[in-house]
């Protein structure tokens, strides 16, 4: 083989190596493109399936040295509200579209002077606020479930939650009323204060102390939240 033929052979070999390299680069780019596109599609699919996420604040009324009402048996309202609120939280945590927060998770005193409870919800930019309470009256025969709101835009939410809770308790329906409670006045989202029943009524208190009954109430509140937020 003469010198010219050898040069042609070397050029062909170099050309083949270049083509193989270019082919490898193009193949790698194609694989990367396909992979990134797959991740993009799956990411969007996950977001679409998950839907919008909502923040819900549960406020167990009273706490610490602020015991709230004292039941006929000596039960403190603060203990009832915390017990029920924890059950609501437990159920809400199973909902993928809901992030649940509590203003307190133990027997902590929360001052009303600095408006901590509404500030807590406002700083979270929460979507809904529910304050849990037990009622009291000097006459032990007085009974029933009643709910309160302050802002007009909270009325529909209060009506909806109240209906669910009354159906769950079976107590006398004392209605939904507008009242200037600071926890529903100073929040920036739809809010309701629920007086589940009268701790000073022997029959109602006995039921309110029962864990199964509390789970029934908690479930009704969650159902109301989901209905309001249009979550299946």
Supply the residues annotated as catalytic.
Answer: 195
CA atoms within 13 A on the CB side of 176: 20
Strands (E), the chain: 54-60, 98-102, 128-135, 145-149, 173-178, 191-198
**Residue 4: C-alpha distances to residues 9, 10, 11, 16, 214 (Å):** 9, 10, 11, 19, 96
Neighbours of 123 (CB within 10 A): 9
Q: Cβ(198)–Cβ(135) under 8 Å?
A: yes
């Amino acid at each position: 083989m003469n010198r010219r033929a050898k040069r042609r052979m070397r050029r062909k070999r170099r050309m083949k190596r270049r083509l193989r390299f270019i082919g490898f680069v193009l193949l790698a780019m194609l694989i990367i493109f396909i992979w990134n596109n797959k991740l993009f599609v799956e990411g969007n699919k996950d977001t679409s399936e998950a839907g919008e996420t909502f923040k819900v604040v549960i406020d167990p009324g009273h706490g610490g040295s602020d015991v709230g009402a004292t039941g006929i048996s000596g039960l403190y309202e603060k203990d009832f509200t915390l017990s029920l609120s924890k059950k609501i939280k437990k159920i809400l945590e199973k909902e993928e579209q809901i992030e649940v927060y509590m203003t307190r998770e133990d027997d902590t005193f929360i001052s009303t002077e600095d408006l901590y409870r509404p500030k807590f919800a406002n700083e979270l930019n929460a979507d809904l606020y529910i304050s849990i309470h037990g009622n009291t009256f000097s006459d032990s025969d007085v009974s029933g479930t009643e709910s309160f709101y302050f802002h007009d835009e909270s009325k529909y939410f209060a009506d909806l939650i109240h209906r669910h809770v009354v159906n769950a308790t079976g107590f006398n329906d004392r209605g939904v009323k507008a009242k200037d409670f600071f926890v529903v006045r100073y929040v920036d989202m739809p809010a309701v204060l629920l007086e589940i029943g009268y701790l000073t009524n022997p029959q109602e208190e006995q039921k309110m102390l029962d864990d199964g009954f509390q789970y029934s109430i908690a479930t009704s509140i969650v159902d109301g939240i989901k209905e309001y937020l249009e979550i299946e």
